[in-house]
A and B are shown apart, each in its own frame.
Chain A
Amino acid sequence: MSFITEEKINFECETGNYHTFCPISCVSWLYQKIEDSFFLVIGTKTCGYFLQNAMGVMIFAEPRYAMAELEEGDISAQLNDYEELKRLCLQIKKDRKPGVIFWIGTCTTEIIKMDLEGIAPKLEADIQVPIIVARANGLDYAFTQGEDTVLAAMAHRCPEKIRQSTNNNNEIIIFGSLPDSVVQQLSYELKKQDITVKGWLPSNRYTELPTIQTNDYVIGVNPFLSRTATTLMRRRKTKLIGAPFPIGPDGTRAWIEKICSVFDIRPKGLEERENEIWNVLEEYIRLIRGKSVFFMGDNLLEISLARFLTRCGMTVYEIGIPYMDKRYQSAELNLLRQTCSDMNVKMPKIVEKPDNYNQLDRIRDLQPDLVITGMAHANPLEARGINTKWSVEFTFAQIHGFTNSRDILELVTRPLRRNNKIKSITNDPNPCIENRVTS
């Protein structure tokens, strides 16, 4: 792992008064990904209210998740945690027959020090359903880091077989939850380079968790998976390939090249592939070239997205980010710095634990062409003539690999295209963009 010289990148840390989703939101995409799972969030009405509102329509599709809503008797320890959880889990087992139950610990279970990790193995033996505990709470984590805690807990459960001598050297295990089609696409890109994806954490079913052995190579697809990476390295003794993340054609190429270099493979046709994609993206890039963007920061995808948008010719004013793991993201940071110098723009400052109030001040001063932010600020900023893109969409859209690069720009340019079309009625003080994307 190479380490960056930090005097070149300007890191700041503010008060942490920023808006983001609670990490328990990860159940919304993980229950869909892991088909035989059931997620039990052990928390209060506050958690339930957040999930029911944030997940909107999914709620009514009978999702495989539920709240174990703590009542006063649970808080004051008048009720026995073990018995209560057993009653609930037996009911879940009866109604849904899951292959695995995840317990998502919350702020409340942290504060009352409910020993979920202690209870789970006992109860697992008792009811004969695997139980995995992940503490995805708002005291410690932000939004997408919830997935990180779940995957780190799953990493412990991956089976370990005795190594067979027929070992194909070009095998990797990829970690990070992606929609099936994106999993297919990335595997397909690697197959072209003669690299086999031995397993994927998470898989579609809990029963299909990949086998992980000592000295296996692992690589992440998302920037928020630090704990999972650490767990795989330290506890499962794997080798982590540190690479930029496959977001945007530049990131995807760098990601594949890094994997190839580990196996001493000379990448085939990657450069052409990348250029091909850039050509296709040109009609979008025309709209944002020379424009400025400001990331308020809430989902940890910010560095990768900023790097990609810089390559598209945008100027990034600020990268807000909830948490910055400089080791896990070092390759991505290096690529960002490289990209800035290639494009001849100033390296943006990276603000960890931002303060939304101060950021709004800076936005007022800088008047960026686009602010990527949470829903709490989007409408008020639009009302003040600032174009915004709701950041959560980047978490749920397909943005990985060559194939999905267009989707990122579709999202980024949408406010610009839309506001351009309705200029005649909104009197937008920021007229942007002269030509529209032709369909």
Chain B
Amino acid sequence: MKLAYWMYAGPAHIGTLRIASSFKNVHAIMHAPLGDDYFNVMKSMLEREREFTPVTASVVDRHVLARGSQEKVINNITRKDKEESPDLLVLTPTCTSSILQEDLNNFVQRASIETRSDVILADVNHYRVNELQASDRTLQQIVAFYINKSNIKVSSCIKTVKPSVNIIGVLSLGFHHQHDLVDIKRLFQDLDIEINQVIPDNASVHELHNLPKAWFNFIPYREAGLLTAQFLYDNFDMPYVDITPMGLLNISNMVNNIQSLLSRFGCHRDYTNYLKIQTHYVSQAAWFSRSIDCQNLTGKTAIVFGDATHAAAMTKILSKEMGINVLWSGTYCTYDSDWFSMQVQDLCSKVVITDDHNVIGDLIAKTEPNAIFGTQMERHIGKRLQIPCGVISSPVHIQNFPLSYKPFLGYEGTNQIADLIYNSFTLGMEDHLLDLFGGHDTTESLSSTLSSYSTVNWSPEALKELGKIPGFVRGKVKRNTEKYALKANYKTISLAVLYEAKEKANMI
């Protein structure tokens, strides 16, 4: 047993559901007890989704415990098939089904005889993999299923005439994925490379057999897509690029990588000039790094923590593009620690691999950086320690699903990141100066109540009761109650008057 109250990566089934709900017309059925369908709430809330989340639970209750699921799962699968006519139904195991050890595969076999849709069982084990690994695996599973189904051979596979690419791993509830996708598409357009397919985002499973038509695959995020890329490489010899185009150096790396990859196919492109123009004129980040403003960031300290993709890229940007001293950099993707260490070991003093938020909290307190770049959790640690924090990676809350265009990848991404870094540091600076000069000119808001001249007294009980009201509305309640008491000619505010005011005064 492990004592924990916060985790960076969710349980396995969340990963599977994120993949299933990213595809078009794919429905997931969870084998889970009541209440485990919280994914629907998150998707509907965080992404402000207008459509009903295509996830249903086949509920595990006492009866299932006693007699097994029997026909229940099969009935739920066939029912969903009739109601929604999805292309694919994904039966999703949870921690509960992991230990019930029911033969879910058998249910899938039996149900698929009756359904028009395809049915598969997600091959994820709750106790072995987390959300990210499960999403990676499920994506590969679905791609493999449809490639095998279509029976295409390497020999019969025709490539597109112009160079083309598949973008693999853009998914629902991904950190700024939708915005990143726009910028990645623009980047490929600039490079004159056609986009063959984007998966799983809004993709149709019946198109998946066209994946091998692309010249190569591009994997923007390490967390999901690498297994699929490997599968396509093993079966169709498709090379892949897995450099995340986050930060100027990474974008150049990625583009050069693509350039040499194309030349192997006999297509000679020279992107040198393009990179120069973009770096100097489109992205403001390089000039920003030269500008006087950024000079003041020299020697400032920061720490970085997040998923492998974003934490590694951010570490590189801070130390190599902004000249900031990264005290330590870490990731909670413990299964990917070798790659991560290799990426950042020359860029920071220390590499931290952990999924325990207490370790991170203590480490931040001990190292006292000027700014933090991390997840939602680090944001709150920063609040507590009064250190500014820029959020760069999942897990995040609703404020990191912005309506406005905020990519982290590509050249527009470099501008966004420069703003994020600069604002984090200047906020810290401002606070520091304010402290130096004695703070904002603020007066205690409660003493400036309208009724401070009045002759209304509070009885001890009522005052005690007022003290129980949460701080942020206490002043308002106090003022309104006093106003009400004055109007009603009460000399003393007793409990009764306090309640009466709540009932009758216009506090809407």
Q: Taking the nearest CB of chain B, how far is it from the CB of A144, in angstroms?
A: 12
B3 & A66 in contact (Cβ 8 Å cutoff):
yes
Interface flags for A130-157 (1: CB within 8 Å of B; 0: not) read 0000000111111100000000000000
Q: Which residues of A contact B41 (CB under 8 A)?
A: 19, 53-54, 374-376
| Cα separation A406 to B42 with both chains bound (whole Å) | 30
List B residues 445-501 near A (Cβ within 8 Å): 465, 468-469, 495-496, 499
CA distance A399 to B77 in the complex (A): 40
B504 in the interface (beta carbon within 8 A): yes
- Whole-angstrom CA separation of A253 from B70 in the bound complex: 49
> Beyond A107-B60, A138-B33, A139-B60, is A52–B38 a contact (Cβ under 8 Å)?
no
Interface residue range, chain B = 35 or more
- In the assembled complex, which residues on chain A have CB atoms less than 8 Å from the CB atom of B51? 380, 383
Please tell me if the beta carbons of B33 and A66 are within 8 angstroms of each other in the complex: no
User: Are B42's CB and A110's CB within 8 A?
Assistant: no
Does A110 lie within 8 Å of B50, measured CB to CB? no
Whether, in the assembled complex, A46 has its beta carbon less than 8 Å from a beta carbon of chain B, the answer is yes
- CB atoms of B45 and A79 under 8 A apart: no
In the complex, what distance in Å separates the CA atom of A22 from the CA atom of B94? Answer: 14
**B339 in the interface (beta carbon within 8 A):** no
Q: Which residues of B contact A160 (CB under 8 A)?
A: none
B100–A46 touching, CB < 8 Å = no
Given A67-B4, A79-B1, A140-B62, residue A379 in contact with residue B50 (CB < 8 A): yes
The answer to whether B99 touches A111, judged by C-beta atoms less than 8 angstroms apart, is: yes
Complex partner residue of A277 from B35, B96, B503, CB under 8 angstroms: B503
Do B38 and A403 have beta carbons less than 8 Å apart? no
Task: State the Cβ distance, A109 to closest chain B Cβ, in Å.
Answer: 11
Q: What A residues does B1 contact at CB under 8 A?
A: 42, 68-71, 74, 79, 84-85, 87-88
With A45-B95, A52-B6, A380-B50 given, is the CB distance from A16 to B35 under 8 Å?
Answer: no
B38-68 CB contacts (< 8 Å) to partner A: 38, 40-42, 44-45, 48-53, 56-57, 59-62, 65
Question: Bound state CA distance, A23 and B35, in angstroms?
Answer: 8
**Chain A window 103-129, contacts with chain B (Cβ cutoff 8 Å), 1 for yes, 0 for no:** 000011011100000000000000000
Contact B52 A69 (CB under 8 A): no
Q: CA of A307 to CA of B65 in the docked complex: distance in angstroms?
A: 36
One of A55-63, A162-170, A234-242, A309-317 at the interface:
A55-63
A392-408: which residues lie under 8 A (CB-CB) from chain B?
402-403, 405-406
Q: In the assembled complex, which residues on chain A have CB atoms less than 8 Å from the CB atom of B468?
A: 180-181
Contact of A439 among B96, B465, B496, B508 (CB under 8 A): B508
Shortest Cβ gap from A437 to chain B (Å): 6
B465 touching A437 by the CB < 8 A rule? Answer: no
A91 contacts the other chain (CB 8 A) = yes
A389 to chain B, nearest CB (A): 15
Contacts of B59 in A (CB 8 A): 16-17
Segment 1-44 of B: residues with Cβ below 8 Å from A? 1-7, 10-11, 13-14, 32-38, 40-42, 44
Interface size, A (range): 35 or more
Instruction: Give chain B interface residues in 76-135, CB to chain A under 8 Å.
Output: 76, 83, 94-96, 98-100, 126-128, 130
CB proximity of B97 to chain A, nearest CB, Å: 10
Q: CB of A184 within 8 A of chain B?
A: yes
Q: B residues within 8 A CB of A85?
A: 1
Q: Name B35's contact: one of A21, A60, A439 (CB within 8 Å).
A: A21
* Chain B residues whose C-beta falls within 8 Å of the C-beta of A139 in the assembled complex: 33-34, 60-62, 65
Minimum CB distance partner of B495 in chain A: A188
Most buried by B among A16, A51, A88, A375: A375
Q: Which residues of chain A from 351 to 365 have any CB-CB distance to chain B below 8 Å in the complex?
A: 357, 360
* A20 CB–B CB distance under 8 Å: yes
B40 touching A19 by the CB < 8 A rule? yes
Question: 22 interchain pairs (CB within 8 A)?
Answer: A16-B59, A48-B4, A49-B10, A51-B5, A54-B38, A66-B3, A66-B5, A68-B2, A74-B1, A75-B127, A79-B1, A88-B1, A92-B3, A108-B99, A139-B33, A181-B465, A277-B503, A379-B50, A380-B50, A405-B503, A406-B503, A439-B508
Given known contacts A23-B35, A137-B33, A139-B34, what 14 new A-B pairs fall within 8 Å (CB)?
A: A20-B34, A42-B1, A49-B7, A49-B10, A52-B7, A53-B38, A59-B6, A75-B99, A111-B65, A139-B33, A140-B62, A188-B495, A280-B503, A380-B51
